[in-house]
Structure 1
Amino acid sequence: MNNNKTMKLLLNDGNYLPLVGLGTYKSTEQEGADAVEYALRKGYRLIDTAAVYKNEEAVGKGIKASGIPREEIVLTSKLWRDCLGYKSAKKEFHKSLERLNVDYIDLYLVHWPANAKNYNNWKQTNADTWRALEELQAEGKIRSIGVSNFWQEHLEALFKTARVIPAVNQIEFHPGYWQPELVKFCQAYKIVIEAWSPLARGRVFDNELLQQIAKKYKQSIAKVCLRWIVQHQVVVLPKSSSKQRIDKNINLFDFELSEEEMTQIDNLPEMGFSGELPNIWPDRLQQA
């Protein structure tokens, strides 16, 4: 089988994105820097952070400490939803660039779309924000631009003014909540899907089907879930500061789920949904 350390997906702008990356949410200070350094030395080439994670400086330090050439690394950061708009987007991007201590960012995402609840003209706000990213990309400051948590309604509105189609949409995607209609819509525009919360906030570990499949392949439940995601041709970003887990999470290609098993996991009832909805943020639905 292919070594997933070298597996990449072609983006609609001609760039490539590794199929497996390191998520850094909650990895801060020296722990975060150490996790990034270790992951890069173990073969990871996609590192995912965001301004709101408050760890861009630590991520930058980890990149430098790894000794891996910058051009081999795909570095992602995101613009927080409180900073949308043309001028604000540019200002916040340069802050991220400074904190990361790099000359460019490979993939920069709008973390959440503006919505009617929080903006008088959400469509114009998203369009203005996107125009700022397009200009930064044209200047060579960003290699690929994309979005996160955009539903079809947000994308369709954006398409009316966008000169560049988003390369990526990072969404909540895990067994029990994987938004198949949105995935299908994005794939029609060659927008690559990235998965956040791939283990459904830990809910997957109590699922009987996943337990049975994991036992069959003598794999962990976590690896079964991550493998299911990459077999959907979706980029997975497991987050961890544990060296042992970082090692395991990138080695996903020593087994393969059958079509029947993929369908069984596809059809699992809702579980582990975060309650985060892009059309009403910042409200959270209370989940049992």
Structure 2
Amino acid sequence: MTSTSASSIPTYPTVPLSNGLQIPILGLGTSHHGGYSHRAVVYALRDCGLRHIDTARRYGCEAQLGVAVQGRAARLGVDYLDLYLMHWPDCSVPGQSNREVRAETWRALEELYDEGVCRAIGVSNFLIPHLEELKEDCSIVPHVNQVEYHPFQQPQEMVQYCRREGIVFEGYCPLAKGEALTHPAILRLADKYKRTPAQICIRWSIQNGVVTIPKSTKEQRIWENCQHVSA
């Protein structure tokens, strides 16, 4: 890992959302159970130029992220969110169907969007039927659908559906929770192109037009993951 100057900090391609905003095609994922490192996030922001950090309330790291982003910690400590996602389509509320609760929750996100609290809103782990129901029940088509995506899980029907509907497809777990890093085919490609297995998977995802958010708590790995994104 080398030190960086302001002039050498990379920039990343962006993907347009249906509301005219842009989302960086590469981000940094976080998680619970050891999946957050304050030092790594600061490094990603300062030295790697990443401006897309993914988190969730259940990860329990919102306050730390607020400090990393701008030095304050009232939860995330920001005036607005660039993107806010409904995390999962299934729910359990007595007396209400999953569809009713999804619609009610989505309408709350629509209100936040209309008020400017969230600049874009989306969903995570939604299938095509879930998205079709939202189209019928609500006013705003999700700007993003975040789904697991890697060489061993390629939901191409969902990818094509999202593109037809103007929904940006965002992929998490691009390294298949580490399984891809030791797969013989990926190792052969890494050797052929003189890249790391992680770089092969991330570049493959990005070349498929997928917004990609690999996780890491190690500065060296984050630096490696950011290389060769747009070359």
Q: Which TM-score applies when normalising by structure 2?
A: 0.89
Q: 1:36 offset after TM fit, Å?
A: 1.7
Aligned pairs for 1:96-135 (under 5 A) are 98-114=74-90, 120-135=96-111
2:123 pairs with 1:150: no
DSSP-derived class of the 1:143 partner:
coil
Distance in 2 (alpha carbons) for counterparts of 1:117 and 1:209: 45
Percent identical among aligned pairs is: 41
**Residue 16 (structure 2) pairs with residue 40 (structure 1):** no
Instruction: Summarize the alignment of residues 138-177 of structure 1 with structure 2, pairs less than 5 Å apart.
Output: 138-177=114-153
8 Å CA contact 1:136, 1:142 repeated in 2: yes
Aligned partners of 1:27, 1:35: CA distance in 2, in Å? 15
Q: Is the 8 A contact 2:124 2:145 kept in 1?
A: yes
Q: List structure 1 runs of 4+ shifted beyond 3 angstroms.
A: 26-29, 115-120
1:219 counterpart residue number: 195
Aligned residues: 222
- Deviation of 1:4 (Å): 6.7
Q: Could you tell me how far apart the structure 1 residues matched to 2:80 and 2:34 are? A: 21
Deviations 1:93-138 (A, max 9, x none): xxxx940011111100000013689874111111110000000111
SS of corresponding position for 1:198: coil
8 Å CA contact 2:199, 2:225 repeated in 1:
yes
Hey, what's the Cα distance between the residues in 2 that align with 1:169 and 1:180?
13
Partner amino acid, structure 2, of 1:7: P
Shift of 1:6: 2.8
Q: Hey, what does 1:25 align to over in structure 2?
A: 31
Counterpart residue identity of residue 40, structure 2? A
- Seen in structure 2, the aligned counterparts of structure 1 residues 135 and 201 have a Cα distance that, compared at 3 Å, is same
Q: Secondary structure at the match of 1:169?
A: strand
For 1:8 and 1:56, how far apart are their aligned partners in 2?
A: 24
The answer on whether the counterparts of 1:11 and 1:192 sit within 8 Å (CA) in structure 2 is: yes
CA RMSD between the two structures: 2.3
When residues 180 and 115 of structure 1 are mapped into structure 2, their CA distance, relative to the original with a 3 A threshold, is farther
| TM-score, L = length of structure 1 | 0.72
Q: Deviations over 1:13-55 (max 9, x none)?
A: 11110010011113869x6322221111121011111101110
- When residues 64 and 115 of structure 1 are mapped into structure 2, their CA distance, relative to the original with a 3 A threshold, is closer
Question: Which residue does the alignment assign to 2:5?
Answer: none
Rounded to whole Å, the distance in 2 between the matches of 1:118 and 1:98 is 32
Q: Which amino acid aligns with 1:166?
A: P
Q: Distance in 1 between matches of 2:10 and 2:184?
A: 27
The residue number in structure 2 matching 1:72 is none
| 2:164 is equivalent to residue 188 of structure 1 | yes
User: 1:173 and 1:197 mapped to 2: Cα distance?
Assistant: 6
Distance 1:176 1:50 in 2: 24
Unmatched 5+ stretches in structure 2: 1-8
CA distance in 2, matches of 1:64, 1:253: 26
